[in-house]
Amino acid sequence: MRVVAAMSGGVDSAVAAARAVEAGHDVTGIHLALSRNPASYRSGARGCCTIEDSNDARRAADVIGIPFYVWDLSDRFHEDVVEDFMDEYAAGRTPNPCLRCNEKIKFAAVLDRALGLGFDAVATGHYAQLRTGADGLIEMHRAVDHGKDQSYVLGVLDQQQLAHSLFPLGDSTKASVRLEAAARGLLVADKPDSHDICFVADGDNAGWLREKLGDKAPNHGGEILDESGEVLGQHDGTYGFTIGQRKGLRLGRPAPDGKPRFVLDIEPVSGTVTVGPREHLAVDRLTGVRPRWCGSVPSRLEGTVQLRAHGDEHRAVVVRSDQGVEVELLDPAYGIAPGQAAVIYDGTRVVGSATIAATQRVSA
């Protein structure tokens, strides 16, 4: 196959590209330029947008011996990922831009362009496994390395996208990938993993949002209330909060019972943030919208859902609805925010995903 290997400049995508070559594919390395102003984003080597990362990707391609190009997708990325991220926070929700990027950029804009240019597939360094099921459809399963498993952020891919994807690292542990990178002479072998959100330079989400949103959000400043409606403090923007957040509330006085308080609700229009005890965060039902299915669409499934990257699995019953899905959690989940993705699993297989629109608290 003719394969485009998306190379971030990190160790995983470099080894993935090398393995694609070894599997006999005709591989071309590409680095995605996602920032309109690469120098301004990250100065470290952790993100996916810096000049250093682009150079690291280029050197890895040299070592592997494949052609290498930079594809400028900064406009698409800004429209589909960065603006969506801002809009979601402005609306009081908590988005995951990595899923959005996979859905709209890596396995859409990049894949479409690659197919148009005569390639057959896109290979990435994501940790997930693909196999062909009994029904002939491509199934995506969790990676062998459960600590690194990234099937959650790939839960937005449909059958068409999966049929043109390669994840060469799904059967390996991160430790073995690093050893392999060193053995292959890839200088990125000991480069630190990326974390956080690539376009938020210093990892300070709230600061970034404050700067970018400015007056765009109808939520600059408001009151922090307890569940009885008593005003406990003030804040300067609901985008600084996420449901389940405990730190940074700066309430001054402790709760009467001395227990820590958590963000229970965010109301962006009035700017109200409600706090309360952890047990009031417990959620046992979710409504999911914008469902994305990896393969055939179940009407009812007893399986598990994962509600955040590297989060726990929750046993659940998922039922399709007109809007998307209704999820009944058999064990309550805490700190679940609208905007997050619920990725649905049947065993290790990813069934699909939906964006959490509403949660229902466990009745006391």
In what helix (H) or strand (E) does residue 40 lie, and over which residues does it extend?
A: none
Using alpha carbons, list the distances in angstroms from residue 37 to 100, 162, 225: 21, 31, 40
Reply yes or no on whether 49 is catalytic. no
Alpha-helical segments (H) within the chain: 11-22, 51-64, 74-77, 83-90, 97-101, 110-116, 159-163, 174-183, 205-213
Question: What is residue 334's DSSP assignment?
Answer: S
Q: What is d(CA 248, CA 115) in angstroms, rounded to the nearest whole number?
A: 47
Give phi and psi for 54, each to the nearest 5: -60, -45
Is residue 70 near another protein by the rule CB under 8 A?
A: yes
Is residue 69 near another protein by the rule CB under 8 A?
A: yes
Reply yes or no on whether 101 is catalytic. yes
Is residue 65 near another protein by the rule CB under 8 A?
A: no
Is residue 117 near another protein by the rule CB under 8 A?
A: yes
Binding test (CB under 8 A) with another protein, winner from 3, 17, 21, 31: 31
Binding test (CB under 8 A) with another protein, winner from 45, 74, 163, 348: 74
Shortest reach from residue 39's CB to another protein, in Å: 7
Q: What is d(CA 63, CA 186) in angstroms, rounded to the nearest whole number?
A: 7
Does residue 256 come out as left (phi exceeding 0), alpha (psi in the -120 to 50 range) or beta?
alpha
Q: From edge to edge, which strands make up the β-sheet containing 231-235?
A: 231-235, 222-226, 272-276, 262-267
Is residue 38 near another protein by the rule CB under 8 A?
A: yes
DSSP codes joined into one string, 250-308: --SSPPTT----EEEEEETTTTEEEEE-GGGG-EEEEEEEEEEESSSPPSEEEEEEE-S
Q: Nearer Cβ to another protein, position 22 or 72?
A: 72
At position 176, the amino acid (one-letter code) is: S
Shortest reach from residue 157's CB to another protein, in Å: 20
Is residue 67 near another protein by the rule CB under 8 A?
A: yes
Span of 108-116, 211-219, 329-337, 345-353 interacting with another protein by CB under 8 A: 108-116
The footprint of another protein on residues 238-277 (CB under 8 A) is none
Give how many residues touch another protein by CB under 8 A.
22
Q: In this structure, are residues 316 and 305 in contact, taking their beta carbons and an 8 Å threshold?
A: yes
Q: Nearer Cβ to another protein, position 122 or 327?
A: 122
Span of 69-77, 166-174, 206-214, 340-348 interacting with another protein by CB under 8 A: 69-77
Binding test (CB under 8 A) with another protein, winner from 22, 112, 202, 331: 112
Is residue 71 near another protein by the rule CB under 8 A?
A: yes
Is residue 116 near another protein by the rule CB under 8 A?
A: yes
Binding test (CB under 8 A) with another protein, winner from 113, 280, 285, 361: 113
* Catalytic site positions: 101, 198
Kindly list the residues in this chain that would bind another protein in the complex (CB under 8 A). 28, 31, 33, 38-39, 50-51, 54, 58, 67, 69-72, 74, 112-118
